[in-house]
C-alpha cells in the first residue's frame, strides 16, 4: 500500500506537487504581490543553506530577529521586512538598536525585567512608517497596567560622554598610519579623532578630558613600547596585530599578548591549565550567590553528581607571576600618568578638587576663615601632604598617600580617592585583577562555563549546572570560540610570514606556541560544532 502511494506521488504533475507541498495564498502572511520579487528570490536563495527553518518561516510572511541569528539570516529578515514581503517579525531588543525596520504596529509581549523606559522608547519608535502610515500603534500583551504606565511616563536616562580613547584604539590609529598610502591624511584623521571626540560635555569638563587625552596618549605609547608592541618610529611590531583584532576584549587581549611574548605558554603543557588561563581572561562571569547559597549549591552538586567545576579553580603560581609582572608595568607607567595629569589640572587653579562631588559644596579657601574652620584644617593638612598631589584633599585627611593608593590599586574603585574625576577604567588603565575583587576588596567566584564546555562539550550541563540561561549560552560560547579561532589564525599568518623571511626568524618561538594553542582551539571548535551544527562557521 505504501509503495502505491509513493508511485502515485511520483506521477503528480508539477502543478499538483505545488498544491500538495507548496504554500497556498490563503495560508501565508507574505505579501507576494506588493514586493520586489527578484529581491525576495535572491535573499531566500542566499539564506536557505544555513537557515532552512528561517526561510520556511519567511515564505509564510513570518520571521525572527535576535542577536544569535547569523549575519545572512539577519540581513534577509531586515531586507524582506523593509520590502514588505515579511509582515510579522518576532524580535528581542536588537531590533530597536538603530536598525532601519519601520512597521505599522509594535507589540510588547509579557513582562520582562529588561524592558525599561529606554527599551520601550527605542522599540515603540519603530511604529509608524513614513510615507505609508498616518499613525503607528503600540500594543501591550500580558503586561501589568502599572508597568505600562511606568514605561510611558518615565524619563529616559541622560546621555553621558565618556573618555574618547583607550589603549587598543590608539594602536588602531597607529596601524591606520602605518598602512596608509597618504600618511599626512592618516595623521590628520587620527588627530581629529583625538582632539574632537563626539561627546557632549560641560565647559568645566572640557579641559579635564582634553588634558586626559593628551597625557594618556603619551604614556600609553611608553606602555606599548615596554611591551614590545611598538618600535621607536611608532610602527606596530610583534603580536600587535592579534591585540588589535581582539579589541573588544580589552584589557584581556593585552594580557594574552604579554603572556605569549614572555613565553608563558611554553612553560605550560597541560591543556586544562591553558584553557583555565583563557577562561580567566575572556569569560568574566560572576557567581552572585551568598555563603548559604554556596553551601546549598555544593550540597546539590554532590547529590546530583555534577560533572561541571561550577567555579573557576585557583590560578597557577606561574600564571600569577606573569600577571603580577604585567600589572607592575601598568602601575609603573600609569602612576606617572595620574601624577602628571593631576599636577597639570592643579596648575590651572580651578579649585575643582576642593568641591564635594555630589553636593557640589565648595571648601575653597576664603579670605575670612579662621583656625577653627574645616577649610583651615583641609588646607593645613593638604600642605603637609604636598607629595601626594594626586590624592583628594578630603581623602588625604585620613592619611591616604599616593604610594598606598597605587600599591593597593583596585580597578573597580577607580578615582574615588583622587583629586579629580579621572577615568581609570580597565580600558584606560589596563590593569587586570585575577583575584576578582569588588569595591570592598572582597573576592568573588567566577563561573567556569568556558572550562566546563571545553572538558564536556555539553550545552545542557551549562544550563542545568552552571546556571546559564538558554538564551545567553550560545552567545557566550561563540565569543570564546571567536577568541580561540582568532588566536589560531593570527599565529598561522605569523608563521607563514616567518617562513618567507631570509634572515633569522622566530619560528622556534611561534611553532610550539601554535601547536599548543591550536590543539585547544580544535577541541573547543569540535565541541562547539557538535552542539550547534546548523550555525555558520567563522
DSSP state of 417: T
Residue 49, pLDDT score: 85
263: phi > 0 → left, psi -120 to 50 → alpha, else beta; which? left
pLDDT exceeds 60 at position 378: no
Whole-number Å distance between alpha carbons of 246 and 4: 60
Least confident of 221-225, 381-385, 503-507: 381-385
Task: Please report which confidence band the pLDDT of residue 2 belongs to, taking 50, 70 and 90 as the band edges.
Answer: very low
| 40 SS3 class | helix
- Cα 198 from Cα 227, distance rounded (Å): 30
Average pLDDT for residues 389-411, to the nearest whole number? 75
pLDDT at 273 exceeding the cut of 70: yes
pLDDT at residue 286, rounded to an integer: 72
Residue 507: pLDDT band by 50, 70, 90 thresholds?
A: confident
In the predicted model, is pLDDT for residue 525 greater than 90? Answer: yes
Who wins on pLDDT, 511 or 157?
511
pLDDT at 484: 93
**What value does the CA radius of gyration of the chain take, rounded to a whole number of Å?**
29
pLDDT at 4: 54
Residue 330's pLDDT band, with cuts at 50, 70 and 90, is very high
Distance CA 538, CA 11 (A): 43
The Cα-based distances of 223 to 66, 141, 212, 328, 408 in angstroms read 39, 54, 16, 11, 20
Q: Are 271 and 520 in contact (CB under 8 A)?
A: yes
Whether the pLDDT of residue 21 is over 70: the answer is: no
Output the furthest CA–CA distance in the chain (Å, rounded). 109
Top-confidence range, 71-85, 162-176, 192-206, 436-450: 71-85
Q: What average pLDDT does this structure show over 1-17?
A: 59
| More confident: 56 or 345 | 56
pLDDT over 50 at 54, yes or no: yes
Sign of CA dihedral 229, 232, 236, 238: negative
pLDDT digits (tens, 9 = 90+) for 125-137: 888 877 777 888 9
Query: Average pLDDT of 504-516?
Result: 82
pLDDT given at position 453:
92
Q: Categorize the per-residue pLDDT at 524 as very low, low, confident or very high, splitting at 50, 70 and 90.
A: very high
pLDDT of residue 124: 86
pLDDT of residue 156: 81
pLDDT in tens, 93-122: 777 777 788 888 999 998 888 888 888 988
Residue range 267-282: mean pLDDT, rounded? 90
Q: List for the chain the helix, strand, coil content (%; round to 5).
A: 55, 5, 40
Please write the tens of the pLDDT for every residue from 174-199.
888 888 888 888 888 888 777 765 55
Where does the pLDDT of residue 123 fall: very low under 50, low under 70, confident under 90, or very high at 90 and above?
confident
d(CA 422, CA 400): 18
11-153 is classed CATH 3.40.50.300 = yes
How crowded is the C-beta side of 334, counted as CA atoms within 13 Å? 30
Residue indicated by cell numbers 577562561: 279
The C-alpha atoms of residue 382 and residue 104 are separated, in whole angstroms, by: 63
Mean pLDDT for all residues in the chain: 81
Amino acid 324: pLDDT: 93
Assign 418 a pLDDT band (cuts: 50, 70, 90).
confident
49-73: average pLDDT: 86
Local confidence band at 384 (pLDDT 50, 70, 90 cut-offs): very low
C-alpha cell at 319: 600564571
- CA dist 499 and 249 (Å) reads 30
Q: What distances in angstroms separate CA 409 from CA 279, 310, 327, one per listed residue?
A: 23, 29, 10
Q: What is the pLDDT of residues 199-220, one digit of tens each?
A: 555 565 677 777 888 899 999 9
Residue 234: pLDDT over 80: yes
In angstroms, rounded to a whole number, what is the distance separating the alpha carbons of residues 487 and 390? Answer: 39
Nearest by Cα to 252 from 243, 265, 262: 243
Provide the pLDDT for residue 321. Answer: 94
- pLDDT for residue 415 is more than 90: no
Q: What's the pLDDT at 527?
A: 93
Q: What is the pLDDT of residue 374?
A: 56
For 90, list phi and psi in degrees, rounded to 5: -90, 125
Which of 127-136, 395-404, 528-537 ranks highest by mean pLDDT? 127-136
Amino acid at each position: 500500500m505504501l509503495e502505491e502511494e509513493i508511485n502515485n506521488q511520483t506521477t503528480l504533475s508539477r502543478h499538483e506537487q505545488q498544491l500538495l507541498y507548496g504554500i497556498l495564498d490563503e495560508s501565508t502572511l507574505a505579501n507576494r504581490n506588493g514586493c520586489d520579487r527578484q529581491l525576495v528570490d535572491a535573499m531566500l536563495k542566499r539564506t536557505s543553506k544555513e537557515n532552512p527553518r528561517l526561510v520556511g518561516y519567511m515564505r509564510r510572511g513570518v520571521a525572527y530577529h535576535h542577536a544569535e541569528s547569523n549575519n545572512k539570516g539577519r540581513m534577509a529578515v531586515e531586507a524582506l521586512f523593509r520590502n514588505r514581503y515579511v509582515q510579522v517579525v518576532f524580535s528581542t531588543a536588537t531590533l530597536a538598536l538603530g536598525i532601519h525596520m519601520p512597521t505599522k504596529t509594535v507589540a510588547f509581549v509579557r513582562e520582562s525585567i529588561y524592558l525599561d523606559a529606554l527599551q520601550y522608547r527605542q522599540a515603540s519608535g519603530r511604529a509608524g512608517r513614513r510615507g505609508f502610515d498616518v499613525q503607528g500603534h503600540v500594543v501591550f500583551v500580558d503586561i501589568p497596567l502599572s508597568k505600562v504606565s511606568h514605561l510611558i511616563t518615565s524619563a529616559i536616562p541622560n546621555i553621558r560622554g565618556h573618555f574618547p580613547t583607550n589603549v587598543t584604539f590608539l594602536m588602531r590609529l597607529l596601524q591606520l598610519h602605518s598602512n596608509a598610502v597618504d600618511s599626512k591624511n592618516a595623521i590628520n584623521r587620527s588627530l581629529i579623532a583625538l582632539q574632537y571626540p563626539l561627546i557632549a560635555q560641560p565647559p568645566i569638563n572640557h579641559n579635564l578630558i582634553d588634558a586626559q587625552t593628551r597625557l594618556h596618549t603619551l604614556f600609553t605609547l611608553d606602555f606599548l613600547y615596554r611591551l614590545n608592541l611598538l618600535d621607536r618610529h611608532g610602527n606596530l611590531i610583534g603580536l600587535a596585530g592579534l591585540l588589535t583584532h581582539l579589541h573588544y576584549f580589552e584589557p584581556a587581549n593585552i594580557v594574552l599578548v604579554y603572556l605569549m611574548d614572555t613565553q608563558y605558554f611554553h612553560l605550560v603543557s597541560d591543556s586544562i591549565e591553558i584553557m583555565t588561563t583563557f577562561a580567566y581572561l575572556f569569560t568574566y562571569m560572576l557567581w552572585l550567590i551568598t555563603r548559604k547559597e554556596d553551601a546549598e549549591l555544593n550540597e546539590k552538586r554532590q547529590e546530583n553528581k555534577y560533572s561541571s567545576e561550577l567555579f573557576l579553580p585557583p590560578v597557577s603560581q606561574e600564571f600569577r607571576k606573569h600577571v603580577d609582572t604585567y600589572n607592575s608595568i601598568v602601575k609603573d607607567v600609569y602612576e606617572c600618568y595620574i601624577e602628571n595629569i593631576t599636577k597639570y589640572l592643579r596648575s590651572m587653579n580651578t579649585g575643582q578638587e576642593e568641591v564635594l562631588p555630589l553636593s557640589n559644596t565648595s571648601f575653597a579657601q576664603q579670605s575670612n576663615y579662621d583656625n577653627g574652620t574645616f577649610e583651615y584644617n583641609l588646607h593645613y593638612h593638604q600642605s603637609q601632604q604636598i607629595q601626594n598631589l594626586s590624592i583628594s584633599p578630603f581623602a588625604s585627611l585620613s592619611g591616604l598617600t599616593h604610594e598606598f593608593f597605587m600599591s593597593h590599586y583596585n580597578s573597580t574603585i577607580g578615582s574615588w580617592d583622587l583629586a579629580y574625576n579621572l577615568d581609570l577604567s580597565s580600558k584606560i588603565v589596563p590593569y587586570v585583577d585575577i583575584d576578582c575583587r569588588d569595591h570592598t576588596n572582597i573576592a568573588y567566584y567566577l563561573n567556569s562555563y568556558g572550562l566546563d564546555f571545553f572538558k564536556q562539550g555539553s550545552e545542557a550541563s551549562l544550563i542545568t549546572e552552571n546556571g546559564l540561561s538558554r538564551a545567553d549560552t550560545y552567545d557566550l560560547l561563540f565569543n570564546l570560540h571567536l577568541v580561540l579561532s582568532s588566536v589560531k589564525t593570527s599565529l598561522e599568518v605569523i608563521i607563514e610570514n616567518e617562513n618567507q623571511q631570509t634572515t633569522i626568524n622566530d619560528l622556534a618561538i611561534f611553532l610550539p606556541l601554535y601547536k599548543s594553542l591550536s590543539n585547544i582551539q580544535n577541541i573547543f571548535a569540535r565541541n562547539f560544532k557538535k552542539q550547534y551544527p546548523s550555525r555558520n562557521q567563522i
